[in-house]
A and B are shown apart, each in its own frame.
Chain A
Amino acid sequence: MSVSRRRVGSGTRSGGDGVVAKVLPPVIVGALFFGGWEAFVDWQHVREFILPKPSEIWKQLFDNFGLVRSASVVTGTNALVGLILGTILGALLAATANRYRAFGELLNPLTITIAAIPAVVIVSVLNNMYSVTTQTGRRVMVTLAVFFIVFVQVARGLRQNHPTQLELMRSYAASPREILRKVRIPNAVGYLFTGIRTAAPIAVIIALVSEYFGGTQDGLGQRIASNFSLSKTAFAFAYVVGGSIVGLLFFAGSNLLEYVAVPWRRRRYSR
């Protein structure tokens, strides 16, 4: 078992003088990357519509901050709505599938089928079903992607307990109901937050990509595509930066959520 060998005090390793050692390398790598990019474009005289300089992207971002922000909010909201709905749906259906075996056997092939269909096909279908002037199709798409991840995780959490824990519960003559309440559900809650953490960045990607297939013109994905096609490459890159920030926010937020909500799972990933 991976949980049984943790030592007292090992969680404080990264504190104190480790901060500089942790922050410095990525800063140096970042500076080298952007500096090298800038120098390469200058040196090779790369045309701006092929590859703009970081300084030009920064200028575009600065000048059009309001536009990038509002597009980020549209895409970010789609991702967030889909993430929340998909999580609720995934957790509820996993719990139901666990409770009623026949329902679970009915559901499993369906979820796998949904997961196997390329997102692009579903978006086109959904855009056709809901009006292209709403965000509904995109949000449903994100919901479906998140649902699958959370469903699999929660179902696993409800089923896979440590054998020793189950033997102990048997030695306590615990009823199936008690085992569910005191072992399976708490275990599944841990898996639920892992599912959310896994699904969050994917929600952003799906929200972005689903804009490539028509619909309203207000999101990041749409703006990136149209500005590239108009050869306003630096402007398109400014929206890419917006997308990166949204992605980072989702990544950090979901990690923080897991860290706070299920502290006992911290160790699994920090070493």
Chain B
Amino acid sequence: MSAVEVAQVSKVFNLGTADQVDALVDIDLTVEQGEFVSLIGPSGCGKSTLLRLIADLIEPTSGTVLMNAKPAHQARLDQDYGMAFQQSGLFEWRNVQKNIELPLELKGWDKPTRRARSLEMLELVKLGQFAKHMPWQLSGGMQQRVAIARSLAANPPLLLMDEPFGALDEMTREHMQTELLRIRKETGTTIIFVTHSIPEAVYLSDRVVVMSPRPGRITAVVDVVLGSDRTEDTREDEQFYDRITEVREALRGAEMGSAPLGIEDR
């Protein structure tokens, strides 16, 4: 049973009006249990839209989205996934620990269990001593780690991430990528990750799904065969550069000869 199965999904915004946009056309995508899949493409290619369709934050115009063979809508009601965005979306009136406990509160967990779980999650993201801090007292990278801890608090089998490191500086970003791989290893979570950075996608993923805009569609899928033990050294590996080149060429192909727009080449 696949973790996520997207079949023949299309999404049209403003259907039947002058502003009609074909955001996604005929998307097929299967993500296996435990897999790390990145969605990459220029602005407007529909990668965030696809992620939101999987999360049932918006509904497809046609086609189906299944999560563990369950319709996406039911999966959302059952909270079968965790989610992290470019903005941490922390609730500024709650301290770090209470932010992590919010999804557990909504699930009806009792207080001692919530406490124990949130502290466990804080240890996972190495922020154990910041439980009582308020969000505004933390740096951007720390806030994002709290957001990741929160998204994993209810122990979902699937994690959906929409450019979670997009607002961070390059150093913090690379550090967070390595942390994410470690967390993934410890928890065995399936991850779908939206990004517009080629090295980030290659470093993190088992597969990179390349998308193109107008209309949004999948143009290539690159298998990243770098093994499961990736470290900072992986970034200097020849294989790593080969995969980056492969993704870059796939993106160029998608743009039909013109230079890809909105893609970070760093």
Contact = CB atoms under 8 A, between A and B. Distances in A.
Interface string A13-51: 000000000000000000000000000000000000000
Summarize B's interface: helix, strand, loop or mixed: loop
Contacts of B89: 162, 164-165, 167-168
Interface size of A as a range: 20 to 34
Interface string B89-104: 1111110000000110
Interface string A152-182: 0000000000101101101111100010001
B87 A190 contact: no
Nearest to B77: A173
A163 B103 CA distance: 17
B138 interface: yes
Contacts, number: 82
B140 A263 contact: no
A263 to B, nearest CB: 7
Nearest to B76: A173
Summarize A's interface: helix, strand, loop or mixed: helix
Nearest to B81: A171
A168 B135 CA distance: 16
A164 B139 contact: no
B240 interface: no
A255 to B, nearest CB: 18
Interface string B28-58: 0000000000000000000000000001010
Contacts of B134: 263-264
A264 B134 CA distance: 7
A4 B167 contact: yes
Contacts of A6: 135-139
B143 interface: yes
Given A164-B87, A186-B91, A262-B93, A3 B136 contact: yes
Interface size of B as a range: 20 to 34
Contacts of A174: 106
A265 B134 CA distance: 11
Interface string A178-202: 1000110011011000000000000
B79 to A, nearest CB: 6
B53 to A, nearest CB: 13
Contacts of B83: 167-168, 171
B85 A164 contact: yes
A250 B259 CA distance: 60
B183 interface: no
A5 interface: yes
A182 B55 CA distance: 21
Interface in A245-271: 262-267
Contacts of A7: 139
B88 interface: yes
15 contacts: A4-B87, A4-B143, A5-B167, A6-B137, A168-B83, A168-B85, A168-B89, A171-B76, A171-B83, A173-B76, A173-B77, A173-B79, A173-B106, A263-B134, A266-B136
Interface of B: 55, 57, 76-79, 81-83, 85-94, 102-103, 105-106, 134-140, 142-143, 167
Interface of A: 1, 3-8, 11, 162, 164-165, 167-168, 170-174, 178, 182-183, 186-187, 189-190, 262-267
